[in-house]
Amino acid sequence: MNEQMRTFEEISGYGYGVSAQQRNTVMRNTYWLLALSLLPTVLGAWVGIETGITASLGGGLGLVVFLGGAFGFMYAIEKTKESAVGVAVLLAFTFFMGLMLSRMIAMVLGFKNGSELIMTAFGGTAGIFFVMASLSTVIKRDLSGMGKWLTVGALVLMVGSIINMFFASSAGMMVISVLGIGIFSAFMLYDLKRIVDGGETNYISATLALYLSLYNVFQMLLMLLGIGGSRDD
């Protein structure tokens, strides 16, 4: 009986009708593409810092460019995710995201311990991802119900961030950063669990979801660490 149940789980994919082999393939391809996507991100950040192209994108203008570009790319990725073109569009998107991140990185690099703060944020993001990836393989509970609550939390966080732009409150920024780290870490777990359970079968969509969570966790960590940074004399 137990052997029959194990066979059923391997074939059914925990109720999603996806085999264990297909789930493993999606996970493997997702990890490879996610690792590859970091290269254009680093390149975009470097180009932004070296050229200063994003230095003037502050306040409302920066928000419009960021949201317009991000949602435009995400729409294009969704339309091309079933073909190899989707990979190219995703990598172009990660370059754009790196470019948008360059303004914050340049600001942090202006601190005496700027390089250390960036490496700490990177290490913290990697650590959170490792923990969430490990949890996704041992948690047996269905986490699909988390999705709508996390989406609501992310929208509230975005509204709070926009409001705080006008007040420039360090305390508000700290609260937003801490909440953001929690929300997007939970998003990582949710998206990884969907792949493990067979709820996500497209590795491009899976990579996009995980990339956004990693990007936001890194950005929030960098923001949080940067609050306590010290400027060069």
Give per-residue pLDDT as tens, 119-149: 999 999 999 999 999 998 898 888 888 888 9
Residue 209 pLDDT exceeds 90: yes
Q: Chain-wide mean pLDDT for the chain?
A: 86
Q: 198: which 2 tokens?
A: 């067979």
Residue 6 pLDDT exceeds 80: no
pLDDT number for residue 11: 43
Q: What does the pLDDT average to over 191-220?
A: 92
| Cα 199 to Cα 187: distance, rounded to the nearest angstrom | 14
Residue 49 pLDDT exceeds 50: yes
Helix then strand then coil, % of the chain, to nearest 5: 80, 0, 20
Band (61; pLDDT cuts 50, 70, 90): confident
pLDDT number for residue 10: 44
Question: Residue 23 domain-assigned?
Answer: yes
Question: Residue 70 domain-assigned?
Answer: yes
pLDDT number for residue 230: 52
| Cα 213 to Cα 218: distance, rounded to the nearest angstrom | 9
pLDDT number for residue 52: 83
pLDDT number for residue 12: 44
More confident residue, 69 or 9: 69
pLDDT number for residue 58: 67
Question: Residue 122 domain-assigned?
Answer: yes
| CA nearest to 211, candidates 55, 108, 106, 96 | 96
Question: Residue 172 domain-assigned?
Answer: yes
Q: Which phi and psi angles does 19 have, rounded to 5°? A: -70, 160
Question: Residue 233 domain-assigned?
Answer: no
Q: What does the pLDDT average to over 34-46?
A: 95
pLDDT number for residue 3: 46
Question: Residue 59 domain-assigned?
Answer: yes
Looking at the 3D structure of the chain, how many domains does it have? Answer: 1
Cα–Cα–Cα angle for 113, 97, 219, rounded to 5 degrees: 40
Range of the domain at 162: 2-227
Question: Residue 33 domain-assigned?
Answer: yes
Q: What does the pLDDT average to over 28-32?
A: 94
| Cα 177 to Cα 179: distance, rounded to the nearest angstrom | 6
| Cα 227 to Cα 220: distance, rounded to the nearest angstrom | 11
Question: Residue 90 domain-assigned?
Answer: yes
Neighbours of 189 (CB within 10 A): 22
